[in-house]
Structure 1
């Protein structure tokens, strides 16, 4: 059916529209139900209550001079209305080639933008409710068709019309995608426009004698592709390291995602397709060069979580409470296999690291802790290298939100290993771009920070592919067309066309090329590409993207640039530009929802306690793990707390952030309470005024810790300090505190445990101490007795030296002969004499017996 015939049909039905409306009104009043009317002309927006259209094939996916003179679009129309639809027809419409400003918005534009239309093609006479029908539209590229005469990326609208019951003809469904055109085949109409170069007339320099249009390879784009592999943080906070406990997850989402049919499972399958893992035979040279320009960007938090899952894990019922009930996870085998496959893929390609857990640069700058910042940025590369066994490419920070604030720039400037950043082109000052022309190369310098830019429209199109489409946070709301009605094929075709866009967006060469910017002429245009962090490509998506990039490279419009070359080239960037909030994006969302003042206070407190606790642990080669390995999981929890969502999902800042802070605080408090004094309770009695005070310290932590005592005692009881004491891991130690009591009265002593850097441990213990001491009275009695003893001794010695008897001995009787004899004998002689005496006494008969 032609467009004219469709117009006549519309005219005929218009005459009956009033009658139909009247009948519909009567039926509605009778209670039969709502009746739609002829709501739209072919150019208006479709009524989604009528039908849906799903594209299944676009051939060729990229137009070249060898791909033929026609474009074929296949799809399926489904009647979603509750009544039949008659005279279903379809046609293609196209808009002008896209530019960087409308690359994303044109898909949501009004149908009137798609001004070039083909004739209608009949699909079916009648489409019953819930019925689907296949269709195929084959249209010429030029005369009578899409009227394409030059290279570029063209938006396509698949327009389906029909006549619902009780209504007139209307556009019942549409689908939108893009068609990249690299070059065009021969065409008679264009051949007639060809002019010999020597004739003096002007002709398009890419137009051939036969009317073909060649690819513009005079200024190839520098193609670099970063392949993010990440997931939102899934570990529940509050678990210590050193294999002291299995990790806890906040739910089962990550386990499901790692399955072959899950998001990360399919993403890994897609990555294996890109890396050529398992392929047999030789690939063409252009595809090999493309693979060299693709670099895997891994989130260290993801792979460290998966590695821990492989050794066993549990799922927490309350992520905010480290002591909450858990259930055992059943995905250890899945995690282990997924990580093994990823390790194999990583060994075959370029690898770099995303910031740990997508930590927000603004939040890190506000916290101001060097250890935490190092773990998020430079430490991220170490984690990736250790787990995957690779040497990652360093020197380029990839913020998930695609933008860097002035505070984030301050954080990055001068940091070894993270001294450049990649942001969307809308996050740099447009005036600076226009003034210097640096949009072509995409490299700038903001202050001391080199910046590489990428196109947000290309990234958004790549984020829309797969089973879990995402819209990046740096995309304004008015640039977010609905993807609900678009099929996987239409979204994949749009992504491939968007990928090709910066390589095809080049003006034809002219005589003014010699006067062009010398940097642009040497460096070429930028096709640096980075999808949203949490994108979800399928293997089919990956193959399409790889084929598209391979075609661009083979044709000469793109030149693969490895990431190492990009990083080294950024050091030479000299085009000044200001960092700004991406247009029409909320500032909080643009910078990843930085910490609030309340949360910032909690994070700083936890950071300080964690650092001081780590310094208090003993070190040694005989320990099973280091203090850093034991306590670093809490720092990782803090990084997950300041994680930035790469999409519009704000659940991190609204729900997960308070829960993580609560769990971290609970664990730090538990660590402090795990080192305690065993309270003897009751009254403590000292045997004397200098008896030691005996105490027992218990350490329930997995590492030895160095502690000291903070003692508060009254003046009448002095308690000595034992200095720094090391308490063994999961053990006890008895301490003897020297004391000196100056009173026998009961005294209350408060003893608190603190670390060597004054972190309080557990709760203080109050002891009621009683000493057997008499105080000053006993002291003076003792002194008086000593004086009397000295005087009496001196008196006796005085009389003895003078040869006079001591008056004290005057009442003593004189010794008899026997006593004198005993006094002059030795001990053994006296003992023998006593024995003889005792024997004689036994031999003497008892006087009673003699009687």
Structure 2
């Protein structure tokens, strides 16, 4: 081979080696592994098919190129599956396998090519039934899964199914077959639903929000402080809570619901924590400037005072004509609350919720009910409720989808009442229906009570598709007279976020089911009474339920238990301030409520533990500050005791706004006896004290003084006092007494000799040159003060007379 030929061969080999590295990847044959197209359902007309609706179903939407290359030959078609026969199919038919779907008609071309980022609309319209092949072939009422299937050919790939969008179509009745010539023929061709066994319908309409009150603010703190001002937006016109209230107010108004049938089926599920927050906002409030870091966080005035006043007044008016049921306080997780194991905190979350609702709304809310909320009814939750008053727990039934190797196995949730303990009866709702309702709106979520086998990626579906699935799920039980029991509880998520059209569509579906006689209103008091009397006995559920990602960590639970215990201990020592009427329980109640807010199920599962730990840290710091607010004033010097019984002066300081019952704990050294002053009621401010003591030594000693609550919890920091004692005890007494006796004897002896005119021996032993004091006194004249002439004086012999 020539040199040129060898060079050419080397170049060709190099090109073949490099080509695979630079060639673009091929398209996947399955959608989702590498997204190229995305289909969105924009509208389904009619959303609920009845005997009087248009017999043609129209689906419109948009196909978008979301990939990294152009896609050619984009085609779309509508497919449907058989009517849903089990509640688990309400979830499983919307995800996973597509073998149950069959085409309604052939593919139609949506676009010959879509470049990156381009969109194209589509419209699919087919009659429910027709003689030709292009129809949906729906001849009976039911709930039918539909799928929009999109195929295309990406650059460097082969034709494949690149995306699909699924939803449920509720068919309450089949309209006349197209082509009916007369009214009688049209009437004969309609297919009405079976209304011989209507379902007893009860729906909760939630009015709740995630905790907004800033943590760590004790009672009496004004103005009220919020972590953000989102609630002001939610309460104002067009906000989430305004939409929820306005929708149910309109749907149950006398003009829209003259016979009150829809109103009897509805009950407002109100979170007491929301009412406490809104009620506080009506008096003015401030908002944290930054992330909540405790009471010292900078704030600015809130903007929602008037919105809070208006919303609360509207709710008070509505609550006079509708049933009202309280949720657990702040939607606290009963499972985690049971692990905290504090009966007082549990009682506040459950039994205390109704009283708060009654007080703020001025109505008598429904008693004997517990709304479990987002979480499942686990064995720990049942244990907590068993220690409370008799209650009917509204919670999701246990439902799982087909497991691996169980293709085709479908289950329907058992929603019959169950008595687990003497005090607890469960009134279950279908979790597949509850999850479908949770998927409606701009912020779809999957509740944590849903088993992972029934989880679907709701956030990938369009709002219109999710709404359709919710309507189908809501109406499914009414359309299946063979499914027992013939009762249904609709329990949306308590943090439901609906747009006005969504809320109207949901409430209209409820009204349609009742007026079509597929359902009858079942007021909440009837639900409670029937559950208590008809419940069958059953063992508590065993094993993990729902999604494990919604469970609170043991570290959070342990921290809340410790903080709660210290808070109760402090509360027991506090009394009532006679000036303001503030009680100790009122002062510490917001901190206990903060701990319930830390366990709120209103927070998305993935963020629960982080936010709970943040709130717990703030509350724990505040509790420690309250303990440190009651102290002994450190004098900074030393005390000197004049006698052995001199009192020890102290000063106590209470920076709390309520009195507190305390005890002094004095560590006295040997030789010092301290009188126990017993229980001291320490008012706000300073209190000087004199502690009776008895000292039996003379020296400087250190005395440690601590302050405790009446039950022994330490308050503030201990103080070390330097005490100097001048007391000598019995020795000093004896010495002083002996000296006094000796002094009295000496004075008496001298006086005795003086009165007898005899010189004292002490005088005789004195200095002989010193003049006699008597002679000095006689040497001066008393009147003139002049000195008299000196007279000689004969010395007197010892023992002799003078003269």
- Normalising by structure 2, what TM-score? 0.82
What is the deviation of 1:62? 1.4
Structure 2: how far apart are the matches of 1:30 and 1:441? 59
Decide which of 299, 302, 308 is 2:280's aligned counterpart: 308
Distance in 1 (CA, whole Å) between partners of 2:82 and 2:551 is: 38
Give the 3-state SS of the residue equivalent to 2:646 in structure 1. Answer: coil
Distance 2:296 2:276 in 1: 23
Equivalent residue in structure 2 for 1:779, among 715, 730, 733: 733
Q: Which of 370, 380, 397 matches 2:370? A: 397
Distance change (3 Å), C-alpha of 1:581 and 1:474:
farther
The correspondence for 2:395, drawn from 423, 446, 459, is: 423
Question: Residues 548 and 669 (structure 1 numbering): CA distance in 2 closer, same or farther, change over 3 Å?
Answer: same
Alignment-derived partner of residue 757 in structure 2:
811
Secondary structure of the residue aligned to 1:665 is helix
Contact 1:91 1:160 in 2 (8 A): yes
Indicate conservation of the 8 Å contact 1:188/1:211, yes or no.
Answer: no
Secondary structure at the counterpart of residue 537 of structure 2: coil
Q: Secondary structure of 1:572's partner?
A: helix
Superposed, which structure 2 residues align to 1:224-243 within 5 Å? 224-243=202-221
Alignment match of 2:97 (pick from 110, 115, 121): 110
Q: Is the 8 A contact 1:50 1:172 kept in 2?
A: yes
**Does residue 149 of structure 2 align to residue 159 of structure 1?**
yes
Structure 2 distance, partners of 1:582, 1:459, is 22
Bigger shift: residues 418-427 or 539-548: 418-427
How is 1:679-758 mapped onto 2 (pairs within 5 angstroms)?
A: 679-729=634-684, 731-758=685-712
Aligned partner of residue 613 in structure 2, secondary structure? helix
1:272 is the counterpart of 2:229: no
Q: How much does 1:464 deviate?
A: 0.8
Relative to structure 1, the CA distance from residue 271 to residue 29 in structure 2 (aligned partners, 3 Å threshold; closer, same or farther) is: farther
1:212 to 183, 190, 205: 190
Deviation at 1:276, TM superposition (A): 1.0
The 1-side partners of 2:596 and 2:545 are apart by: 28
* Cα deviation code 1:276-335 (max 9, x no counterpart): 1897x722557x31232111212222332343345213327564x536543325444355
- Kindly state the Cα deviation for residue 348 of structure 1 after the two structures are TM-superposed: 4.3
- State the distance in 2 between where 1:811 and 1:651 align: 110
**Which of 243, 267, 274 is the equivalent residue of 1:295?**
267
Deviation at 1:268, TM superposition (A): 3.0
| 1: CA distance, partners of 2:296 / 2:493 | 34
User: What do residues 392-423 of structure 1 show as CA deviations (whole Å, max 9, x unaligned)?
Assistant: 2121212234422223212212623x612112
In structure 1, the residue matched to 2:8 is none
Determine the C-alpha separation between the residues in 1 that align with 2:285 and 2:451: 42
Gapped regions of structure 1 (runs ≥ 5): 1-24, 192-206, 431-436, 509-519, 797-804, 814-837
Partner of 2:298: 326
Equivalent residues, number:
735
1:108-161 CA distances to partner (integer Å, 9 max, x unpaired)? 133332124223445455555544343322211123311112121000112234
Instruction: Give the superposition deviation at 1:594.
Output: 4.8
Determine if the alignment matches structure 1 residue 640 to structure 2 residue 597: yes
Question: Mean alpha-carbon deviation: is it higher for 305-314 or for 137-146?
Answer: 305-314
Would you say 1:137 and 2:137 are equivalent positions? no
2:50 counterpart of 1:93: no
Give the deviation of 1:526 after TM superposition.
1.9
Aligned position for 1:497: 472
Contact 1:272 1:345 in 2 (8 A): no
Q: Deviations over 1:602-638 (max 9, x none)?
A: 4333223222222222225533422111001111122
Residue 175 (structure 1) aligned with residue 165 (structure 2): yes
Q: Does residue 185 of the first structure (1) align with residue 190 of the second (2)?
A: no
Check if 1:650 corresponds to 2:624: no
The answer to whether the 8 Å contact 1:428/1:579 transfers is no
Q: Which residue of 2 aligns with 1:59?
A: 45
Distance verdict in 2 for CA 1:83–1:116, change over 3 Å: closer
Matches within 5 A, 1:790-809: 809=755
In structure 1, the residue matched to 2:419 is 445
> Offset of 1:748 from its aligned partner?
2.1
Equivalent residue, structure 1, for 2:540: 579
Could you give the per-residue CA deviations for residues 9-49 of structure 1, whole angstroms, max 9, x where no partner exists? xxxxxxxxxxxxxxxx99x9599973755x55xxx647874
Q: Provide closer, same or farther for how the CA distance between residues 215 and 678 of structure 1 changes in structure 2, counting only shifts above 3 A.
A: same
Greater Cα offset, 475-484 or 211-220: 475-484
Q: 1:126 to 1:664 in 2, by over 3 A?
A: closer
2: CA distance between counterparts of 1:414 and 1:208? 61
Query: Which digits, 9 at most, give the CA deviation of each residue in 1:709-745, with x for residues without a partner?
Result: 111212333333333322222x111111223332322
Deviations 1:810-837 (A, max 9, x none): 2269xxxxxxxxxxxxxxxxxxxxxxxx
TM-score, normalising length: structure 1: 0.78
Structure 1 residues 364 and 485, CA gap change in structure 2 (3 angstroms)? closer
Q: What is the DSSP-based 3-state SS (H/G/I as helix, E as strand, rest coil) of the residue aligned with 1:210?
A: helix
**In 1, Cα distance between the equivalents of 2:490 and 2:166?**
23
Could you give the per-residue CA deviations for residues 666-688 of structure 1, whole angstroms, max 9, x where no partner exists? 22221111111111122211233
Q: What's the secondary structure of 1:465's corresponding residue?
A: coil
Aligned: 1:532 with 2:493: yes
1:467–1:318 Cα change, 3 Å:
closer
Unpaired runs of at least 5, structure 2: 1-14, 403-410, 760-780, 789-803
User: Partners in 2 of 1:398 and 1:784 — Cα distance?
Assistant: 87
- C-alpha contact 2:77 2:103 (8 A) present in aligned 1: no
The 1:604–1:440 alpha-carbon spacing in structure 2 relative to 1, beyond 3 Å, is closer
Residue 164 to residue 693, structure 1, CA distance change in 2 (3 Å): closer
Distance 1:714 1:161, change over 3 A: closer
Distance 2:417 2:252 in 1: 37
- Note if contact 2:577-2:659 (Cα within 8 Å) is conserved in structure 1: no
Secondary structure class of the residue paired with 1:103? helix
1:583-602 per-residue CA deviation (whole Å, 9 max, x = no partner) reads: 8745x55xx52552x55554
Per the alignment, do residues 620 and 328 of structure 1 end up closer, same or farther by CA in structure 2, a change over 3 Å counting? closer
Larger CA deviation: 103-112 vs 395-404? 395-404
